[in-house]
Structure 1
Amino acid sequence: MSFGDPNNPYGQQPAQPGYGQQPAQPGYGQQPAQPGYGYPQAPAYGEPAGYAAPPMEMPSGAKAGRIFVWVIIALQLFFAIYAFTQMGAVEDAVNQTGATGTEAELASDIGKGIVVVFAVFALVFAALGLVIALKWASGGSAVRTCAIVWASFAIVGGLFQMPIGIGTMVFAILLIVFAAKGDTAAWFKRPRH
């Protein structure tokens, strides 16, 4: 607190200019008042206390990105269910090769194991997407960055999930495009209250 601070209730108040006189200009040794320094400013009329500006609304690019995250999650869940239903098809394919005995069982077990690994991977990937989708509205730049990285992995993972993977790859590319847009980036960098 400085001695001549006009907001200081205990300090000496500066002299006010009389009628018709010009207020004193800051000269040598005096500094003009700096906004934001010292006591907090009172909110303007009609402005709620504690907010500098009304909260920014989510732009359409960010809304579209959030929809794409949910679509990719749905596709991952659909692929996991599809993969688990194909366990019997793996055993049928091994039986059609004419293999018998332990070699048929081994081939069947390896095929089923690969299907289970892909299905579990899709479920884990959907769970990670769920975290991103739930944090989308309130998260910062880290959520946007995670969404872009997650979508990049979705493109690679879509190669192993054909034919469902085509949809995953398309929506992942769209997610990267919309998450990288300037208005979406600005929205994720907005001040939070």
Structure 2
Amino acid sequence: MSFGDPNNPYGPPQGQGQGQQPGYGYPQQAPQGVPPQQGYGYPAAPPISPYGPGGYPQGPAKMPGMMTAARVLLFIIGGLQIVVGVIAAIAIGAASSAVDDSDAATGLAGLGFAIVAVLLAFAGLAIFLGVRFSKGGTAIRVITIIYASLMIVGSLGNFAQGEPSGVFGGVISLAISGVILASMIGSQASAWFNRPRY
């Protein structure tokens, strides 16, 4: 077998000269506009897609700043409500033991303890909502909006009493609940709570 033999598997294909064979001899230059190919190393990483599994948008990977602020405020409100509830329960218990056991005093003490129980329930709800912000969905967002709205109504009730302590507490409660409500109705909240969870 010679180099020009048409049956030679190691020879050039028929009709091509020795300098025109692709893949033989020294590397050929790539045509213009084609990047040079490298045969060694790791392959290039695939392009990053803004879509997650299933082709749906992933949404934000990290909790937005407004959501973090609302979460911290929920924890603060919950803690303050627990402190106020415990102090009120102690005061009601001390006042009811100091007075006689009349029906009116017992009824007022029962009403006071019922209000404390409602206050502690709201404190527990605030802390629960704050904990669920990281994994919660649309239901957590809706409940937080309702919670902030009820806090605004309570703050306006404090203003209606006209007492200096009620007005001061109403201003603080109104400011905190306003921030929580504003953060829940924004586009960041929609993107965060509607993000897919896998």
Q: CA deviation at 1:127?
A: 1.8
Q: Could you say which residue in structure 1 is the equivalent of 2:113? A: 116
Q: Which structure: greater helix fraction?
A: 2
Q: CA deviation at 1:114?
A: 1.6
Alignment partner of 2:103 out of 89, 102, 106: 106
Letter in 1 for 2:46: Y
* Distance in 1, Cα, partners of 2:173 & 2:147: 12
SS of residue paired to 1:81: helix
Q: Could you say which residue in structure 2 is the equivalent of 1:20? A: none
TM-score normalised to structure 2 length: 0.59
Q: CA deviation at 1:54?
A: 8.5
Q: Could you say which residue in structure 2 is the equivalent of 1:131? A: 128
Compared with structure 1, are the counterparts of its residues 86 and 170 closer, same or farther at alpha carbon in structure 2 (3 Å cutoff)? farther
Letter in 1 for 2:148: A
Q: CA deviation at 1:151?
A: 1.4
Structure 2: stretches of 5+ with no match in the other structure: 1-44
CA deviation profile, 1:132-190 (whole Å, cap 9, x unmatched): 11211111122111101011122334547964852333312221011112212222112
Letter in 2 for 1:117: A
Alignment partner of 1:179 out of 170, 184, 190: 184
CA deviation profile, 1:43-78 (whole Å, cap 9, x unmatched): x62769x75769621111111111111112112112
TM-score normalised to structure 1 length: 0.60
SS of residue paired to 1:57: coil
Letter in 1 for 2:112: V
Superposed counterparts of 1:29-178, under 5 Å: 45=46, 56-87=61-92, 88-89=94-95, 105-158=102-155, 159=157, 163=166, 165-166=169-170, 167-178=172-183
Check whether the contact 1:72–1:172 (CA below 8 A) recurs between aligned residues. no
Letter in 2 for 1:70: F
Structure 1: stretches of 5+ with no match in the other structure: 1-43, 96-100
Check whether the contact 2:60–2:192 (CA below 8 A) recurs between aligned residues. no
Question: How many equivalent residue pairs?
Answer: 140
Letter in 1 for 2:105: S
